[in-house]
Copies of this chain bind each other. A is one copy, B any other.
Amino acid sequence: MATRKTKTQDCDEGPVTLPSDALAERTAQLAWAVAHPARVRIVHLLAHRKACVCGEIVDNMSLAQSTVSQHLKILKESGLIQGEVDGPKVCYCINPEALRELKSLISKL
């Protein structure tokens, strides 16, 4: 333990509070999912149109189709969005529960 007894007026001496490892990792995981402008836009888009979208996402993003597909995969893996096959197309939609989880975890920071 360091010998810091004097002049601690600047520092709060309260107990150290850290989130559990699992919580911190989940928070980081969800935050990371929206840690890219393209993914922010996708989440925003899906969150505001209640239902799914498909290749429209690509049209609204100045990125190659394969790149968008990769971002969609990342979002899907994080649980934030879900994809449903509808014929040759795929409809994506928000997973409201995961989005709520993200908001909740961030709000508790």
Interface residues in chain A, defined as those with a beta carbon under 8 Å from any beta carbon in chain B: 2, 5-7, 10-12, 14, 16-19, 21, 24-25, 27-28, 31-32, 34-37, 39-41, 43-45, 47-56, 60, 84, 86-87, 89, 91, 93, 99, 102-103, 106-107, 109
User: Residue of B at shortest CB range from A80?
Assistant: B109
The distance in angstroms between the C-alpha atoms of A41 and B21, with both chains bound, is 9
> What are 19 A-B interface contacts by the 8 Å CB criterion?
A7-B89, A10-B84, A10-B91, A12-B51, A12-B52, A14-B49, A17-B49, A19-B44, A21-B37, A25-B37, A27-B40, A28-B34, A28-B37, A31-B34, A31-B40, A34-B109, A99-B109, A103-B107, A103-B109
| Nearest CB of chain B from residue A26's CB, rounded to whole Å | 9
State the Cβ distance, A74 to closest chain B Cβ, in Å. 12
